[in-house]
A and B are shown apart, each in its own frame.
Chain A
Amino acid sequence: MTARTVLQSSDITRALTRISHEILESNHGGSDLVILGIPTRGAVLAERIASILDSIEPGSGQVGTLDVTMYRDDLGRNPTRTPRPTRIPSGGIDGKTVVLVDDVLYSGRTIRAALDALGDLGRPRAVRLAVLVDRGHRELPIRADFVGKNLPSSAAERVNVRVREVDGEEHVSIETPSPSEGQAR
Chain B
Amino acid sequence: MRHLLSTRDLTRDDAIGILDVAEDMADVASRSVPKLPTLRGRTVVNLFFEDSTRTRISFEAAAKRLSADVINFAAKGSSVSKGESLKDTAQTLAAMGVDAVVMRHPASGAPNVLASSDWVDAGVINAGDGTHEHPTQALLDAFTIRRRLHGDASRGKDLDGTSVTIVGDILHSRVARSNVWLLATLGARVHLVAPGTLMPVAIDGWPATTGHDLDEAIDAAPDVVMMLRIQAERMQDAFFPNAREYSRQWGLDDERLARLGAGSIVMHPGPMNRGLEISANAADSPRSTVREQVANGVSVRMAVLYLLLASDREALLK
Chain A's nearest CB lies how many Å from the CB of B38?
4
Within 8 A of A (CB), among B279-318: 306-307, 310-313, 315
Contact mask for chain A residues 58-71; partner B; CB cutoff 8 A; 1 contact, 0 none: 00000000010011
Whether B50 sits at the interface, judged by CB under 8 Å, is no
Chain B 101-139 near chain A by CB (<8 Å), digits 1 or 0:
000000000000000000000000000000000000000
Chain B interface residue count, CB cutoff 8 Å, equals 23
Chain B neighbourhood of A79, CB < 8 A: 311-312, 315
Does A85 sit within 8 A of B, measured CB to CB?
yes
Q: Is B241 an interface residue (CB 8 A)?
A: no
Contacting B at CB under 8 A, from A89-146, are: 116, 119-122
Which residues from A are CB-within-8-Å of B31? 120-121
A67 to B315, CA, bound (A): 24
- Contact across chains for A71 and B36 when beta carbons are under 8 A apart: yes
When chains A and B are docked, how far (Å) is the Cα of A67 from the Cα of B28?
11
Contact across chains for A80 and B311 when beta carbons are under 8 A apart: yes
- A4 lies within 8 A of chain B by Cβ: no
List, in ascending order, chain A residues with CB within 8 A of B207's CB: none
Would you call B310 and A86 a contact (CB within 8 A)?
no
For residue B233, CB closer than 8 A to chain A, the reply is no
Q: Is the CB of B311 within 8 A of A85?
A: no
How far is it, in angstroms, between the C-alpha of A79 and the C-alpha of B21 when the chains are bound?
15
| CB of B157 closer than 8 Å to a CB of A | no
| B24 with A85: CB separation less than 8 A | yes
Cβ 8 A contact of A122, one of B21, B32, B38, B315: B32
Q: Is A178 engaged at the interface, CB distance under 8 Å to the other chain?
A: no
B32 lies within 8 A of A121 (CB): yes
Cβ of B33 and Cβ of A120 under 8 Å apart?
yes
- Nearest B residue to A77 by beta-carbon distance? B312
A83 is an interface residue with CB less than 8 A from chain B: yes
**Residue B23 CB within 8 A of the other chain:** yes
Chain B residues, Cβ within 8 Å of A77? 312
Cβ of B83 under 8 Å from chain A: no
A75 to B307, CA, bound (A): 11
Q: Knowing A71-B36, A71-B37, A121-B32 are in contact, say whether A83-B24 is a contact too (CB < 8 A).
A: yes
User: Is A81 a contact partner of B23 (Cβ separation < 8 A)?
Assistant: no
What's the least CB distance linking B167 to chain A, in Å? 35
Contacts of B38 in A (CB 8 A): 70-71, 75
Q: In the complex, A84→B23 CA distance in Å? A: 10
Query: Is A70 a contact partner of B37 (Cβ separation < 8 A)?
Result: yes
Tell me, yes or no, whether B270 is within 8 Å of chain A by CB. Answer: no
Provide the bound-state CA to CA distance between A79 and B318, in Å: 12
A76 to B315 alpha-carbon distance, docked (Å): 10
Q: Is A26 an interface position by the 8 A CB rule?
A: no
Check if B24 sits within 8 Å of A81, measured CB to CB: no
Q: Are B37 and A116 in contact (CB under 8 A)?
A: yes
The answer for the CA separation of A56 and B33 in the assembled complex, in Å, is 35
Given the known A-B contacts A70-B36, A71-B36, A71-B37, are A82 and B312 also in contact in the complex, defined by CB atoms under 8 Å? no
How close is B201's CB to chain A, nearest CB, in angstroms? 40
Give the chain A neighbours of B36 by CB distance below 8 A. Answer: 70-71, 120
With CB as the reference atom, state the residue of chain A lying closest to B34. Answer: A120
Q: A78 an interface residue at 8 Å Cβ cutoff?
A: yes
**Looking across the interface, which residue of chain B has its beta carbon closest to that of A79?**
B311
The 19 listed contacts between A and B (C-beta, < 8 Å) are: A70-B38, A70-B306, A71-B37, A75-B310, A76-B313, A79-B311, A79-B312, A80-B310, A81-B310, A82-B17, A83-B21, A85-B23, A85-B155, A116-B37, A119-B33, A120-B31, A120-B33, A121-B33, A122-B32
Q: A: which residues have CB within 8 A of B?
A: 67, 70-71, 75-86, 116, 119-122
**A-B complex: 9 closest residue pairs judged by Cβ atoms:** A80-B311, A120-B33, A70-B36, A70-B38, A75-B310, A83-B24, A79-B311, A77-B312, A122-B32
